[in-house]
């Protein structure tokens, strides 16, 4: 049995990194799995670029132009996807030796909807956001019932209605099984019109135990080489891809928390990474790493931190939260999306009431007060082993194997 994973990126952004780790867990379990990508960042020999394609720069230009107009028209999100440009990938896939195709994040016009309709092999789809069962958008507002009731010309634009109907007609016949990494997105998918008659299974992402693990704060500080004296400082970190431009990441809650904490305390230092915001320039007790591509540095940040902030307003199963908890650093988050699958309230983190800054701040002060990493048995308090067992790569790869085998037998 040979598996082909399809993902626009291989190791950039949350969805791509999750797909990469799923691939890695399968290879380590002796599965014959490879990944086809449009843009490659890693040196992994099991990942290859699409051949006979438009140059990446041209593709990105087209995507930027399309997205610019879609954002101007719909104004609710920073990314919209159509998947309408002919990609001719179906012929390549159909003529290959792969038995099963595993979709991941396939947007940025990687493969067209028409091409998906021509694929003759079983398709498993690991969904990383709401796009597979919505229309143009990647995250659907909770009050938007069109995903469950259907898009039509009375509640949608012509383009939204056209894309949704095209997806409905294609996906209901072509997708053998949907894999939902969080219980939250599983519930949304199986309640949607598009996937209501499709098998939806909850299989979480894996944790790379060789990369994200607990190490002493003192060792992590040395490796980070932070010039600021952090002795006796309580360290709070925050970071995400598109942390500031993507409103659902909740940066405003972090900024507000920083301002309030600095008025109340004088022993806190902040570490931020990801997209840079000019709002933070005037704050002195911050170390800003901007984008981090070396996961060793990322691990050191988590380990040197006393808590990690993740105020997302919508999220599937955020890798930053998984990584932080794998490093024994508690996470403060809103009780949204898949956060409940990761955080044991007041154990390894705090689940604040949705969009409630006061409760979010209360969670920060809760862990500030108990200063968890000062406790000798803090990993037992966090129920660390229980958490890690939930995302065991071998168990997860075996679950994928079972789904693949079932899809071939159909």
DSSP string of 152-201?
A: -TTTS-HHHHHHHHHHHHHHHHHEEEEEESSHHHHHHHHHSTTTTTSEEE
Of the candidates 376, 378, 305, 310, the one whose C-alpha atom is nearest the C-alpha of residue 342 is 310
Neighbours of 241 (CB within 10 A): 19
What distance lies between CA 292 and its chain's CA centroid?
16
Residue with tokens 């990761």: 342
> Which of 73-87, 157-171, 219-233 holds the top average pLDDT?
157-171
Write down the mean pLDDT value for the chain. Answer: 91
How far is Cα 19 from Cα 43, in angstroms, rounded to an integer? Answer: 15
**Which CB contacts under 8 angstroms, 24+ apart, belong to 49-53?**
50/89, 50/92, 50/110, 51/92, 52/88, 53/87
Ranges 50-54, 107-111, 173-177, 358-362: which has the least confidence: 50-54
In terms of pLDDT, which residue wins out, 281 or 390? Answer: 390
Of the candidates 199, 183, 206, the one whose C-alpha atom is nearest the C-alpha of residue 20 is 206
Of the candidates 178, 61, 59, the one whose C-alpha atom is nearest the C-alpha of residue 130 is 178
3-state DSSP call for residue 12?
coil
Identical topology for domains 2-206+392-409 and 217-389? yes
For CA atoms 358, 363, 366, 371, the dihedral sign is negative
pLDDT class of 208 with cuts at 50, 70, 90: confident
In terms of pLDDT, which residue wins out, 202 or 228? Answer: 202
Of the candidates 335, 387, 405, the one whose C-alpha atom is nearest the C-alpha of residue 176 is 405
How far is Cα 59 from Cα 37, in angstroms, rounded to an integer? Answer: 13
Q: Is the pLDDT of residue 171 over 70?
A: yes
Neighbours of 376 (CB within 10 A): 7
What is the pLDDT averaged over residues 193-202? Answer: 96
Show me where the domains of the chain are located.
Answer: 2-206+392-409, 217-389
pLDDT of residue 51: 66
pLDDT of residue 52: 55
Please give the CATH topology (third level) of the domain spanning 2-206+392-409: Rossmann fold (3.40.50)
Cα dihedral 13/272/79/136 (nearest 10): 70
The two structure tokens encoding residue 67: 């997205």
Sheet holding 100-103, edge to edge: 47-49, 32-39, 2-9, 100-103, 123-126, 175-180, 199-202
pLDDT of residue 158: 94
Query: Under CATH, which number does the domain 217-389 receive?
Result: 3.40.50.2000
Distances (CA, A) of 54 to 5, 106, 280: 20, 16, 39
pLDDT of residue 231: 78
pLDDT class of 341 with cuts at 50, 70, 90: very high
Give the orientation angle of helix 251-264 with respect to helix 357-370, to 10 degrees.
50
The two structure tokens encoding residue 77: 């999100």
Ranges 142-151, 263-272, 289-298, 325-334: which has the least confidence: 289-298
Contact 316, 310 (CB under 8 A): no
What is the pLDDT averaged over residues 10-28? Answer: 92
Find the farthest-apart pair of alpha carbons in the chain and give their distance in angstroms, rounded.
64
Alpha carbon distance, N-terminus to C-terminus of the chain: 15
| H or E segment and range at residue 387 | helix 384-389
Stated pTM of the model: 0.92
Tell me the β-bridge partners of 286: 270
Share of the chain above pLDDT 90, in %: 69
Of the candidates 185, 180, 178, 182, the one whose C-alpha atom is nearest the C-alpha of residue 199 is 178
pLDDT tens by residue, 41-97: 888 999 998 865 566 677 778 888 888 888 888 877 778 899 998 888 899 999 999
pLDDT class of 278 with cuts at 50, 70, 90: confident
pLDDT class of 291 with cuts at 50, 70, 90: confident
């Amino acid at each position: 049995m040979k598996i082909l994973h399809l993902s626009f990126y291989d190791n950039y952004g949350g969805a791509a990194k999750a797909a990469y780790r799923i691939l890695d867990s399968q290879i380590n379990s002796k599965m014959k799995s490879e990944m086809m990508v449009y843009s490659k960042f890693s040196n992994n020999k099991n990942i290859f670029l699409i051949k006979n394609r438009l140059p990446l720069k041209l593709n990105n230009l087209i995507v930027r132009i399309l997205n610019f107009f879609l954002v101007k028209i719909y104004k609710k999100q920073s990314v919209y996807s159509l998947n309408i440009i002919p990609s001719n990938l179906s012929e390549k896939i159909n003529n290959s030796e792969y038995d099963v195709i595993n979709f991941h994040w396939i947007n940025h016009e990687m493969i067209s909807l028409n091409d998906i309709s021509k694929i003759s092999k079983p398709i498993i789809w690991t969904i990383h956001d709401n796009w597979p069962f919505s229309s143009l958008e990647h995250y659907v507002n909770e009050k938007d019932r069109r995903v469950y009731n259907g898009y039509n010309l009375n509640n949608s634009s012509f383009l939204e209605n056209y894309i949704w109907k095209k997806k409905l007609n294609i996906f209901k016949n072509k997708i053998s099984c949907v894999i939902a990494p969080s219980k939250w997105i599983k519930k949304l998918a199986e309640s949607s019109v598009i996937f209501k008659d499709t098998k939806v299974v909850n299989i979480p992402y894996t944790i790379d135990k060789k990369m994200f693990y607990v190490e002493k704060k003192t060792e992590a500080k040395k490796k980070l080489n932070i010039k600021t004296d952090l002795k006796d400082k309580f360290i709070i970190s925050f970071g995400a891809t598109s942390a500031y431009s993507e409103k659902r990441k909740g940066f405003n809650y972090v900024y507000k928390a920083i301002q309030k904490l600095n008025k109340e305390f004088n022993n806190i230092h902040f570490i931020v990474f990801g997209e840079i915001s000019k709002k933070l320039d005037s704050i002195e007790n911050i170390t800003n790493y901007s984008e981090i591509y070396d996961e060793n540095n990322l691990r050191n940040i988590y380990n040197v931190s006393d808590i990690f902030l993740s105020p997302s307003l919508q999220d599937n199963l955020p890798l930053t939260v998984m990584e932080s908890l794998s490093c024994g650093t508690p996470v403060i988050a809103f009780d949204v999306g898949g956060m409940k699958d990761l955080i044991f309230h007041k154990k390894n983190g705090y689940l604040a009431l949705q969009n409630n800054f006061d409760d979010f701040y209360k969670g920060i002060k809760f862990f500030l007060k108990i200063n968890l990493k000062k406790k000798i048995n803090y990993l037992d308090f966090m129920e660390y082993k229980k958490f890690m067992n939930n995302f065991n790569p071998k168990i997860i790869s075996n679950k994928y194997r079972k789904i693949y085998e079932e899809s071939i037998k159909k």
